[in-house]
Amino acid sequence: MEPKVNILIVDDEEVVRESLASWLAEDGYEVGVAENGARALARLPEKDWNLAMVDLKMPGMDGIELMDEIRKVKPEMIVIIMTAYATVDTAVQAMKKGAYDYIVKPFNPEDLSMTIRKIIEHQKLVKENLYLRKELKKQYRLHDMVSKNHKMIEIFELVKTVAKSNSIVLVQGESGTGKELLSRAIHMESPRRDEPFVTVSCAALTETLLESELFGHEKGAFTGADQARSGKIELAKDGTLFLDEIGDISLKLQMDLLRVIEQREFRRVGGTQLIPITSRIIAATNRDLTKAIEEEKFREDLYYRLNVISVRIPPLRDRKEDIPLLVEHFLGRFNIEMGKNVDGLAESAMRLLMDYGWPGNARELRNVIERAMVVAKGRMILDADLNLPQASGSPGVKDRRGKSLSEVEKEHIRQVLAANRWNIVRSAQVLGIDRVTLYNKIRKYELKKEPVLNT
């Protein structure tokens, strides 16, 4: 059932109070009356009033004064000013002071019904909007990241705690999951937020370049070093140093970095002076570091140095519930950046996004939405605007909808057999079943080797 709508009528004339109250009661509203401003203010705490209908001319406190007082106590309450004497001046004054509407007695019943219904509708929307905003802020947001996945929310909570410390953080996750965004969030949540956030992309540079990029160099340290330069560690000062793709650095540099982290001081390339490190270090990688250690591509001691606080961001395919939320987030941002007015996605387009595997994670989703917004013609993004890559790893994904399990199985076996040129042993391996089972299924589904052309 809809909640009751409470209306407070304030008028010094009894006949007005009574007739308005009974007319509104017939419409199902809960009505209270007050004969003057003081009485009205005294009745305010009684209920959650939606609306006050206030007479402009009353002895003592007039309608405008009363409206001011109401707004101090209950700013969300809507006030309509009623008057028997319509002048443009008073109407303008009332509206300027924040009256929702201004009506002249006697009212046309149709106008009055319409005005009140409009107010109720408006209030419902305002309440809903406030609620939604609060929900969005409360649970799903950490700076530029949004999620309603419980693992992500746990990470957001962890970030807020971790941010206050100076410990090294290791952020792991597939590419595009938002490792840098999360690291920036840690920085922004930390007391270092007004200091620099310096990113070093370790994979992009050769060993020597990376070394000088990190530590800086003195004049003449190597060919072309015609003047001294500070490295990124120095630039980060009291801020945060973000070492992206840490899994890609050479073993020699890993050793240098380990020493620097342990001693919290370093030398520029070709320099002698020891420079202390005051920044906080966050490292990120999309590689499986434990595997890299097994393969002796990553130093175990550096791993333990970095892995003080570890955050692993789940891939988008494991948190598909975030897709609509992220879409909304990106739409909002690109609408502003591109000056566009795209409201949302067609239902079928959203379904395509939900069905897709997102190997490139949230970044890929962002790019898909950005492109779609460029090409979208109307206020809606349609299927054709999306341009999703065909899922090559899982052929026929889209066709599966509405098919029975055995139909899908039959089709899958047919495709695997075709891909392996009917080599039963290999096909059985791919399918993860033994040969006999595969033969049985071929018979059951009456699969036949099709003549292969152009081989």
Q: Nearest approach, Cβ of 1 to another protein (angstroms)?
A: 12
CB 330 within 8 A of CB 366: yes
In the numeric block, which tokens belong to residue 240? Answer: 């945060």
Q: Which residues, 6+ apart, have CB-to-CB distance to 110 below 8 Å? A: none
Q: Which one, 15 or 452, has the nearer CB to another protein?
A: 15
Q: Give the integer Cα–Cα distance in Å for 57 and 387.
A: 65
The H or E element that residue 270 is part of is none
Chain contacts with another protein (rule: CB under 8 A) = 13, 15-16, 18-20, 22-23, 25-28, 82, 105-110, 112-113
Q: How far is the CB of 107 from another protein (least distance, A)?
A: 6
Residue 22 or 129 with smaller CB distance to another protein: 22
Beta-carbon contacts of residue 193 (< 8 Å; ≥ 6 apart):
187
Residue 108 beta carbon to another protein: minimum distance, rounded to whole angstroms:
5
- CB of residue 86 to another protein, shortest distance in Å: 13
Q: Which neighbouring-strand residues pair with 34?
A: 10
| CA dihedral of 190, 193, 198, 200, whole degrees rounded to 10 | 30
Give the span between the Cα atoms of 100 and 94, in whole angstroms.
9
Distance CA 124, CA 51 (A): 12
Q: Report in angstroms how near the CB of residue 50 gets to another protein at its nearest.
A: 17
Closest to another protein by CB, 84 or 209 = 84
Conformation bin of residue 153: beta by default, left when phi > 0, alpha when psi is -120 to 50: alpha
Q: Which C-beta is closer to another protein: that of 109 or that of 224?
A: 109
Q: What is the DSSP string of 330-387?
A: HHHHHHHHHT----EE-HHHHHHHHHS--TTHHHHHHHHHHHHHHH--SSEE-HHHH-
What is the number of other CB atoms lying within 10 angstroms of the CB of residue 235?
Answer: 15
Residue 94: other Cβ atoms inside 10 A: 23
Phi, psi of 357 (to 5 degrees): -85, -15
Nearer to another protein, 7 or 210 (CB): 7
Residue 78 CB, shortest distance to another protein, in Å, is 18
Q: Are 38 and 62 in contact (CB under 8 A)?
A: no
Q: What distances in angstroms separate CA 172 from CA 155, 194, 244, one per listed residue? A: 12, 25, 10
22 vs 348 by CB, closer to another protein:
22
Smallest separation (angstroms) from another protein to the CB of 112: 7
Q: Which lies closer to another protein via its Cβ, residue 27 or residue 434? A: 27
As a residue count, the chain comes to 455
What is the nearest approach in angstroms of another protein to the Cβ of residue 124? 14
Please report how close the Cβ of residue 311 comes to another protein at its closest, in angstroms.
Answer: 52
Q: Give whichever of 31 and 306 is closer to another protein, judged by the CB atom.
A: 31
Of the pair 28, 432, the CB lying nearest another protein is at 28
- From the CB of 411, what's the least distance to another protein, in Å? 51
What the block records as the tokens of 360 is: 């490139």
Cβ proximity to another protein: between 112 and 372 the closer is 112
- Using CA atoms, how far apart are residues 79 and 361, in angstroms rounded to an integer? 50
